[in-house]
């Protein structure tokens, strides 16, 4: 049994490619009348439906690092990793109810514009440049590299650069049409992603049933997973004791039990879903009710994601432990690819289409955000203030092209070392360190009128410095066990604090610094946003969707606590 595709698989994939490309071209032709309207190009202002916004949010969020990385964490940790998805659903409720009204009332279209409106221009410029470098040289490159490596492994292992170029060209075809084309093609991408992912999960469970003598029955296969790996179906990783093995300690370092829910996981999710151009851009061109419904629809879809990207990893673990997965290569990160080898002809092509859908949607969404920030927050403000709408759209398209070329160049021979560090590690290293400061700057800027621009700059800098301190230096300088934290052996001869706890500590100290600095300023900052209770009221239909999501999450945690 091998990973190579056959003719039928390629036919399935080509049909998918033609379907998405044709639909994207159809959407582009429909909006030709406004093709030189900058807001239409960057934000699809007023033309996205709630289901397009929700689907596009999920398509942009799920990529190769989720399929490969989260399946790997399912193999290693089990269902605890699903917290990233289920807490994200709650974070999306918070964003829909409290964040989006602030953005829409103040006509915010980009995150640097928020910072300029609320604080000052230097803060906005610093963060615009930072986000551009982050999106191009961390996010875009890692999505392209990990995606090309994953698909290359499924096609025999000899076409890495061809696949890399193919993914880049496919994403360019979509993103050059603007946000409306990106969002509406994402609807197809998500449909393929979810259907292909569910098929893979179903096959994985039936294989488990067959290998353990229960027949080709997915439900029986799931029950076998719970019997063979009960520790993989616990949401809370126990805190290590003196008798804990290194494997148990490593699990806690990855996801430190209840401490994750007190500290880091909320910062990760609220910063990602509420303060991130790449994500919020889809809702910023809509009216409040449409934006809210779309975001909550995305939250509802997030409840499904562990079934698609995490459960195959647990199936791989049980099969491997039982000696039924000799094709597993590369440890936990090879879990998803190993499971795909069980798919029959045709369905393997569908699984590649699902993986490609996730990758291309993320690439297209990312370059669109890069284009929006560069064009609206740098080019239009510092190079040509009086430029025409047509010129802005041209610059936007040129930026899309340049960003993708840079991504290909830097991933061609993996110049950034993404493969050596591992995809999740690479992304976390460069984004996780800045998240506490950025989130503190946004949350105080939205909801505390006293926050000052100087406090915002101090927050970004101190958030980064605190992250470096707690992640890299604290155990060496302060010891392994203090009233703030406990550091554990990482298996490599050193001690480290769980990353989520580091993030929580960094956020707490950053907030303290920003509050103290702001207290030295005026009681009401002249640039503070005007808020009223009416902004945060929700309709009855919105409340029903919120309650349904929360009840499902509660039921899941009661079942798997």
Helix, strand or coil, per DSSP, at residue 34 = helix
CA distance 312 to 328: 13
- 421 vs 234, more confident: 234
Confidence band, pLDDT 50/70/90 cuts, at residue 418: low
Quick one: pLDDT at residue 478?
A: 93
Overall residue count recorded for the chain in this entry: 561
On the question of pLDDT at 133 being above 60, the answer is yes
Quick one: pLDDT at residue 514?
A: 97
CA distance 36 to 387: 12
Each residue's pLDDT tens digit, 453-492: 999 999 999 999 999 999 889 999 999 999 999 999 988 8
CA distance 118 to 549: 32
How many H helices and E strands in the chain?
30, 2
Confidence band, pLDDT 50/70/90 cuts, at residue 421: very low
Residues 369-380 as b or e (16 or more Cβ within 10 Å = b): bbbbbbbbbbbb
Q: Dihedral through CA 360, CA 364, CA 370, CA 373, nearest 10? A: -150
CA 439-524-526 angle, 5° bins: 85
- Tell me the pairing of strands 495-496 and 488-489: antiparallel
Mean pLDDT of 93-119: 92
On the question of pLDDT at 420 being above 70, the answer is no
Quick one: pLDDT at residue 346?
A: 76
On the question of pLDDT at 53 being above 50, the answer is yes
Mean pLDDT of 70-91: 89
On the question of pLDDT at 64 being above 50, the answer is yes
The mean pLDDT value of the chain amounts to: 86
- 460 vs 279, more confident: 460
Each residue's pLDDT tens digit, 423-455: 555 566 667 788 899 999 999 999 999 999 999
Quick one: pLDDT at residue 223?
A: 93
Residue 444 backbone phi and psi in degrees, to 5: -70, -35
Ordered by where they begin, the domains of the chain are 7-24+48-431+531-560 (1.20.1730.10)
On the question of pLDDT at 92 being above 50, the answer is yes
Contact 189, 54 (CB under 8 A): no
Cα–Cα distances in angstroms (integers) from residue 194 to residues 52, 61, 101, 307, 353, in the given order: 15, 13, 30, 10, 11
Q: Which two tokens stand for residue 232?
A: 């993989």
Q: What is the 3-state secondary structure (H, E, C) of 429-454?
A: HHHCCCHHHHHHHHHHHHHCCCCCHH
Each residue's pLDDT tens digit, 205-252: 999 999 988 888 899 999 999 999 999 999 998 899 888 899 889 889
Q: Which residue has the tokens 């994403």?
A: 171
Residue 31 backbone phi and psi in degrees, to 5: -105, 15
User: What does the DSSP assignment read for 330-375?
Assistant: SGGGGHHHHHHTTSPTTHHHHHHHHHHHHHHHHHHHHHHHHHHIII
Quick one: pLDDT at residue 332?
A: 75
Quick one: pLDDT at residue 35?
A: 52
Quick one: pLDDT at residue 206?
A: 93
Each residue's pLDDT tens digit, 383-392: 877 778 888 8
- 245 vs 343, more confident: 245
**Residue 248's CB: how many other CB atoms inside 10 A?**
17
CA distance 222 to 224: 5
Each residue's pLDDT tens digit, 283-329: 887 899 999 999 999 999 999 988 888 899 999 999 998 888 887 76
On the question of pLDDT at 2 being above 70, the answer is no
Quick one: pLDDT at residue 12?
A: 81
Quick one: pLDDT at residue 445?
A: 94
Mean pLDDT of 136-154: 82
Q: How far is CA 467 from the centre of its chain?
A: 20
Q: What is the 3-state secondary structure (H, E, C) of 454-520?
A: HHHHHHHHHHHHHHHHHHHHHHHHHCCECCCCECEECCCCCEECCHHHHHHHHHHHHHHHHHHHHHC
Helix, strand or coil, per DSSP, at residue 486 = strand
Confidence band, pLDDT 50/70/90 cuts, at residue 558: very high
Quick one: pLDDT at residue 289?
A: 93
CA distance 521 to 509: 19
Quick one: pLDDT at residue 232?
A: 92
323: left (phi over 0), alpha (psi -120 to 50) or beta: left
**Residue 495's CB: how many other CB atoms inside 10 A?**
16
Cα–Cα distances in angstroms (integers) from residue 32 to residues 41, 98, 172, 177, 387, in the given order: 10, 35, 18, 10, 21
Mean pLDDT of 489-513: 92
């Amino acid at each position: 049994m091998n990973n190579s595709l056959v003719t039928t698989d390629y036919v399935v994939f080509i049909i998918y490619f033609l379907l998405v490309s044709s639909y994207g071209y159809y959407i582009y032709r429909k909006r030709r009348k406004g093709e030189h309207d900058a807001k239409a190009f960057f934000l699809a202002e007023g033309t996205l439906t709630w289901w397009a916004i929700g689907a596009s949010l999920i398509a942009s969020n799920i990529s190769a690092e989720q399929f490969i990385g989260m399946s790997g964490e399912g193999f290693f940790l089990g269902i605890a990793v699903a917290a990233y998805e289920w807490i994200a659903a709650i974070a999306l409720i918070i964003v829909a109810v409290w964040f989006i009204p602030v953005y829409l009332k103040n006509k915010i279209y980009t995150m640097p514009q928020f910072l300029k409106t609320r604080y000052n221009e230097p803060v906005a410029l610093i963060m615009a440049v930072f986000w551009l470098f982050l999106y191009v040289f961390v996010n875009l490159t890692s999505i392209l590299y990990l995606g090309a490596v994953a698909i290359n492994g499924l096609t025999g292992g000899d076409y890495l650069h061809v696949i890399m170029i193919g993914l880049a060209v496919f994403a360019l075809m979509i993103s050059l049409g603007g946000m409306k084309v990106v969002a509406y093609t994402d609807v197809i991408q998500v449909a393929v992603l979810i259907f292909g992912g569910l098929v893979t999960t179903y096959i994985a469970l039936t294989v488990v049933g067959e290998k353990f003598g229960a027949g080709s029955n997915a439900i029986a296969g799931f029950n076998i997973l719970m019997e063979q790996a009960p520790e993989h179906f616990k949401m809370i990783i126990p805190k290590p004791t003196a008798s804990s093995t290194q494997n148990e300690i490593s699990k806690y370092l990855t996801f430190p039990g209840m401490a994750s829910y007190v500290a880091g996981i909320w910062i990760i999710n609220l910063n990602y879903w509420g303060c991130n151009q790449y994500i919020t851009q889809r809702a910023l061109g809509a009216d409040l009710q449409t934006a809210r419904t779309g975001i909550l629809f995305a939250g509802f879809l997030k409840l499904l994601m562990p079934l698609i990207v995490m459960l195959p990893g647990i199936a791989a673990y049980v099969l491997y432990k039982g000696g039924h997965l000799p094709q597993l290569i590369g440890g936990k990160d090879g879990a998803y690819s190993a499971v795909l080898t069980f798919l029959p002809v045709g369905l393997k092509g569908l699984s590649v289409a699902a993986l490609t859908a996730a990758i291309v949607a993320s690439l297209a969404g990312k370059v669109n955000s890069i284009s929006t920030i560069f064009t609206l927050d740098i080019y239009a403000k510092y190079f040509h203030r009086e430029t025409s709408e047509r010129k802005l759209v041209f610059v936007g398209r040129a930026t899309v092209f340049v960003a993708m070329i840079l991504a290909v160049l830097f991933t061609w021979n993996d110049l950034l070392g993404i493969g050596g560090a591992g995809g999740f590690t690479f992304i976390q290293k460069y984004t996780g360190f800045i998240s506490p400061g950025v989130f503190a700057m946004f949350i105080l800027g939205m909801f505390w009128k006293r926050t000052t621009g100087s406090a915002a700059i101090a927050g970004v800098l101190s958030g980064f410095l605190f992250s470096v301190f707690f992640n890299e230096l604290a155990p060496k300088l302060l010891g392994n066990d203090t009233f703030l934290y406990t550091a554990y052996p990482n298996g490599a001869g050193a001690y480290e604090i769980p990353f989520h706890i580091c993030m929580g500590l960094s956020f707490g100290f950053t907030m303290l610094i920003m509050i103290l600095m702001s207290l030295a300023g005026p009681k009401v900052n002249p640039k503070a946003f005007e808020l009223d209770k009416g902004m945060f009221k929700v309709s009855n239909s919105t409340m029903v969707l919120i309650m349904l999501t929360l009840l499902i999450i509660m039921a899941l945690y009661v079942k798997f606590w």
